[in-house]
Amino acid sequence: MLRRRLNRLLSGDERRVDSRTIYVGHRPCPATEAFIPPKFCDNRIVSSKYTVWNFLPKNLFEQFRRIANFYFLIIFLVQVIVDTPTSPVTSGLPLFFVITVTAIKQGYEDWLRHKADNEVNKYLVTVLEDGRRTRKESEKIKVGDVVEVEEDETFPCDLILLQSSRDDDTCFVTTASLDGESNHKTHYTVPDTEKDLESLNATIECEQPQPDLYKFVGRMHIYKNDQEPAVRSLGPENLLLKGATLKNTQKIFGVAVYTGMETKMALNYQGKSQKRSAVEKSINAFLLVYLCILVSKALVCTTLKYVWQSNPGQDEPWYNQKTQREKDTNLYLKMFTDFLSFMVLFNFIIPVSMYVTVEMQKFLGSFFIAWDKDFFDPEIQEGALVNTSDLNEELGQVEYVFTDKTGTLTQNNMEFIECCIDGFQYKYQDAASELDGFCVTDGPLSKLQQKAGREKEELFLRALCLCHTVQVKESTGQGDGLMNQVDGLELDGEVVRPEDQRGFIASSPDEVALVKGAMRYGFTFLGLESKNMKILNRNNDVEMYELLHVLNFDPVRRRMSVIVRTKSGDTLLFCKGADSSIFPRVRQDEVDRIRMHVERNATEGYRTLCVAYKKLTAEEYAQADTGLREARLALQDREEKLMAVYNQVETGMSLVGATAVEDRLQEEAAETMEALQGAGIKVWVLTGDKMETAKSTCYACRLFQRGTELLELTVRTLEEGGRKREERLHELLLDYHKKAVQDAAPVKAGVTRSWSTANQDYGFIIDGATLSMVLNSSPDANSGLYKSLFLQICQNCTAVLCCRMAPLQKAQIVKMVKNSKGGPITLSIGDGANDVSMILEAHVGIGIKGKEGRQAVRNSDYAIPKLKHLKKLLLAHGHLYYVRIAHLVQYFFYKNLCFILPQFLYQFFCGYSQQPLYDAAYLTMYNICFTSMPILAYSLLEQHIYMENLLDNATLYREIAKNAMLRWGPFLYWTLLGIFHGLLFFFGVRCLFSNPALQDNGQVFGNWSYGTIVFTVLVFTVTLKLALDTRHWTWINHFVIWGSLAFYVFFSFFWGGIIWPFLKQQRLYFVFANMLSSVSAWLVIILLILLSLLPDILLVVLRKPRGPHARQKKPVESSTGGPQSPRSSARPLLMRTFSDESNTVI
């Protein structure tokens, strides 16, 4: 593998093919003089990261790559090496706790992966060895083994299909575990292989493993006695992938070509690039600030220590004076050691446990999405899926949504609506009086005839019945199971024989819709048998066509063709595809007759396909046949060679007609898009579909309104005016920029489109060809200008439609917006393989569990069953996740500042001697036990606004936009609050200690009592501060808040009430109990807690009085009758006071 990767890297632009040769059944071929079996990897699947031996070093290495963990390791080592004021346990124990919890979590996840690997590797399979069928474990399969697989079994490795139990030498496969497609796919055996596999002598030459599921290039040499070896091409249709399941075929035999970690499934499951949330970046920025505070505190104390000691009599007592030489010896080393000691003393200002709390909050919080019953779809019996819990809060920060059209905005549930034959429109109706089931609704008025000729009609319908890859599945009487897999077949008005009760199996719903459409008009596809396609025509006669070649559909050509031979010996090519790819290949006069219907259908929102045919002469067919066979045998550049032959054959065709298929809008698609726009999110539709179809979908989804002015930048607008495209592009961009950017009134924050009637709304439309000109313009003075103008125009439009887009262009658009000024948070949502690139490119990728397979779901961060669920995912879950984690981060920094500031102030009163204010147990337990659980519970359960209100009032989403709660303003507020509380704790207790005799017996409190009082006030204040911030109380919140305070009191009594044998000195022996025996101490503790929380209490008391509807979940109606929206100001939210009581849970 390493050699192959190096070769690829070093070869530069050379198209180097690295192939492998496989001996079928490990039998040497006659042409081979010396048989040396090649070495390939075994069939073990290893998805685990660790082994028993390398878990500890590898996991520790990975954890200490995190800056915070490494920092605390350094602090711990300093405490061990240098004589520091605090025990190494104080930083070592929290670090050990963090490392241990993370290691256990990662170890458990890896154990689950080991378990899953063993299930796969120990699975028993049947292998043919020396004529015997032997059972062996899957991991022992070697490349070249002939494997037997029975119906409903999963393929244990990547196999080339050699033999099938079906008469037509095919087998059916579902690849649900690979790409989620539950449709049956047809695979074919290699032609001319021996029926007796024991006597088969053959070698397979194929490409080295690569991850593309739909590409495979190879050829098979079949050796027969003293004959020239026969060469057969191998493609994806011959390859059975590991993880796919055999269906409707009793058994097959195949030879292993890729095994273990070289199978396409294994190559596809390699990790995605790590996405980081904006919150994580904010945490790192805040950490740097607190690190600077820490260093400055240590520098101040170190400097003041040496200034203070320079005064006579301050350093040592008079009876133990040091000489000047002793003072100057290793002075800088002493200063550095003191600096490190102060760093250790104050290092708790950096919250090590915050990382663990944040990870636990993200991991546990992600379950709320999976558990949400509103996301459950009864149709597919599935709910939402979370693939990445690291991005929960990012759902509350989305500024741009990029959505696919087919299967995302629409259902991808195709229904045949109408067709156009030779310029005449045919619309199906159920009226029995209509001849042949046709209903002619319109046609050119200049023509007297109302229908195309019968010959043209039948030619068109034959094309629909022949130009596809649909299979017919015969009913087995198991109704439910059948209908789950195939589309039912029904012949209207006819008595159907039991053997004709069949269903259609297809990889695309379009194809089934067209075949069903042909059935309505009297032509029924009966199936494919031994390369012969059978059709039942209107006269109930069966027609046979020999299938010679299938020119497969691909997104670049946007068409597919079949070459068939009739019984009379004529060779016909039928082709169907997008109008943009068919029109240039047919006569212009034919195009004019049909273009009007195609454009009208597209405007109505239907998916259109054009149908053409061509009669091939014997010479043309011979040339095409030779070209196709040669191209299919090529190991290098096979795709390009096939494309060249396809393009050569598919020319000079005759246009027969066009079809219109309806793809209905997704449930609540319009309401979802409207809510997203109300939340201030810009929606862009990126589709490969026609502009007219996509435009009508945008109108239906309310992305474009009636008053929206559309700015169109397509090939059509560029060709107007008869000038060069580049010049016209430049002119249009400047014109649109002036209209949408320069002349547009500035949009007021918090005003949605539906309320602002004064401003003109703009919608932007661009197609793939024009986008290529904008993004990849020739390197001149305008190249950067085009992209800048384009981006500015788009950002000032309410919605953007990009049509005729290639998958790579979708990713380019997302990348361009993602990297634009301000770095907006982007979200991509799609349901098909063509959406994977943009899903991976965006900050947040969402897959829809649709009908185009599960590639999008597999590569996404989150998966939802329907588009309508996106509204709740962003406006409710995203909003709450962001508010919770933002409060968690700010609160963590605040409580640690409150904790360490009194320690810093204490140094001014103890001669900078690095004397700790708190006991080592308190230092260790503060972040781990006393204050960790309340904030974790808050960050999981808090609902500062009811979910129903968040969904009803989309504008609330704008309050937290652009990382509003983690900006420097709120950070400064929390920091100042921490400083205020820290000063109050320290100097408040110092006022108490101005009279040291605080006990009834006149005994004096010591320094540990001082620290314990400060610590008690600290723990109670920060916990009660969180209680005041909590808007949504559950029994869990009550339990952890009051339980944490009770635990602190219990621990302090317990820790100081027993003589611990393992402690050299016990500083807190009965200190806590003595402290509570003093009435003055009680008074100061209560007073300081109240004084600290007074600002928060006053804000709660003095804000708008609570109305009678405070607990209502719906917004209060204003006097004008509309819903009364909360104030847009982010400040009340940031300060955790919410001015609108109707939206607040108290």
Q: Who's near 929: CB < 8 A, 6+ residues apart?
A: 1044, 1047, 1051
Q: What φ, ψ does residue 87 adopt, rounded to 5°?
A: -70, 145
Tokens of 632: 């299919």
Residue 754, exposed/middle/buried by CB under 10 A (0-12, 13-18, 19+)?
exposed
Nearest alpha-carbon partner for 680 in 751, 740, 741: 751
Q: What φ, ψ does residue 417 adopt, rounded to 5°?
A: -105, -55
State how far the Cα of 230 lies from the Cα of 221, in Å rounded to an integer.
Answer: 6
State how far the Cα of 882 lies from the Cα of 322, in Å rounded to an integer.
Answer: 59
Tokens of 400: 């741009």
Q: Who's near 772: CB < 8 A, 6+ residues apart?
A: 809
Check: CB of residue 555 under 8 Å from CB of residue 807.
yes
State how far the Cα of 869 lies from the Cα of 851, in Å rounded to an integer.
Answer: 17
Q: State the catalytic residue, choosing from 145, 338, 404, 689.
A: 404
Longest CA–CA separation in the chain, Å: 128
Q: What is the DSSP string of 290-314?
A: HHHHHHHHHHHHHHHHHHHHTSTTT
Tokens of 414: 């195709």
Q: Who's near 809: CB < 8 A, 6+ residues apart?
A: 686, 768, 771, 772, 775, 802
DSSP secondary-structure letter at 54? Answer: T
State how far the Cα of 237 lies from the Cα of 215, in Å rounded to an integer.
Answer: 9
Decide if 404 is catalytic.
yes
Instruction: List the beta bridge partners of residue 126.
Output: 135, 148
Helix H segments across 907-1034? 920-925, 932-941, 947-952, 956-959, 968-992, 1007-1029
Cα–Cα distance list, 254 to 193, 241, 347 (Å): 12, 11, 64
Nearest alpha-carbon partner for 1138 in 976, 969, 936, 949: 949
Residue type, 908: F
State how far the Cα of 138 lies from the Cα of 125, in Å rounded to an integer.
Answer: 6
CB atoms within 10 A of CB 1133: 22
Nearest alpha-carbon partner for 763 in 736, 787, 743, 738: 736
Instruction: List the beta bridge partners of residue 83.
Output: none
State how far the Cα of 726 lies from the Cα of 889, in Å rounded to an integer.
Answer: 51
Active site residues: 404
